[in-house]
Amino acid sequence: MAKQENQDDPLHKARSVALRLLARREHSRMELTMKLRQRRIDREVIDRVLDEYEQKGWLDDTRFADVYARQRMDLGYGPLRILAELQQRGVDVAPDCLEQVSEQAWRERAVSLRDKRFGLDDLREDWNEKMRQARFLTRRGFSVAQVEWALEARHQGD
């Protein structure tokens, strides 16, 4: 009987759903809010539970942003795309791990991604291929300067 009463309690439901989601992976506050709203939990209950979880350190947008950015960097995404995706998830602050990567390191990442995907052939005579590769790197979130740098890169001795 007590278990049924807990399931009917919106505060208990919000806590258990949020905790289950956080146990799987980090979430931003906005992501958790949306997922709890989809389960038809009242806004005041959601805010109360998420405030409580933030105070306990279980929910932290800064930690989420850092984990998310590192994962996306490991998958070959550039800073512009990572920041845009974080904003879509309700995080407006650039994580430290992004700030610590130098412009030169971003350029090298773009070159490495281009090499892995297309090779580092000379593109001076092939405008269509150059544009195709530029679009790919831009979609991946690299800046214009980083893309231009990567498109100029060649294998040593070329």
pLDDT above 90 (res 152): yes
- The pair phi, psi for residue 89, each rounded to 5°, is -100, 10
On average, the pLDDT of the chain sits at: 93
3-22 core/surface letters (b: 16 or more CB in 10 A; e: else)? eeeeeeebbebbbebbeebe
What span, in angstroms and rounded, lies between the C-alpha atoms of 149 and 114?
Answer: 11
pLDDT digits (tens, 9 = 90+) for 87-128: 999 999 899 999 999 999 999 999 999 999 999 999 999 999
Q: What per-residue confidence (pLDDT) applies to 4?
A: 52
**Is the CATH number 2.40.50 carried by domain 103-152?**
no
What span, in angstroms and rounded, lies between the C-alpha atoms of 143 and 101?
Answer: 14
DSSP string, 53-66: HHHHTS--HHHHHH
* Dihedral sign from CA coordinates of 131, 132, 134, 135: positive
What span, in angstroms and rounded, lies between the C-alpha atoms of 82 and 79?
Answer: 5
Q: Are 154 and 120 in contact (CB under 8 A)?
A: yes
Q: Do domains 1-59 and 103-152 have the same CATH topology?
A: yes
Q: Are 67 and 5 in contact (CB under 8 A)?
A: no
What span, in angstroms and rounded, lies between the C-alpha atoms of 49 and 156?
Answer: 57
pLDDT digits (tens, 9 = 90+) for 11-27: 999 999 999 999 999 99
**Class of the CATH-defined domain 1-59:** mainly alpha
The domain ranges of the chain are: 1-59, 61-100, 103-152
* Residue 103: C-alpha distances to residues 30, 69, 100, 108 (Å): 30, 16, 10, 9
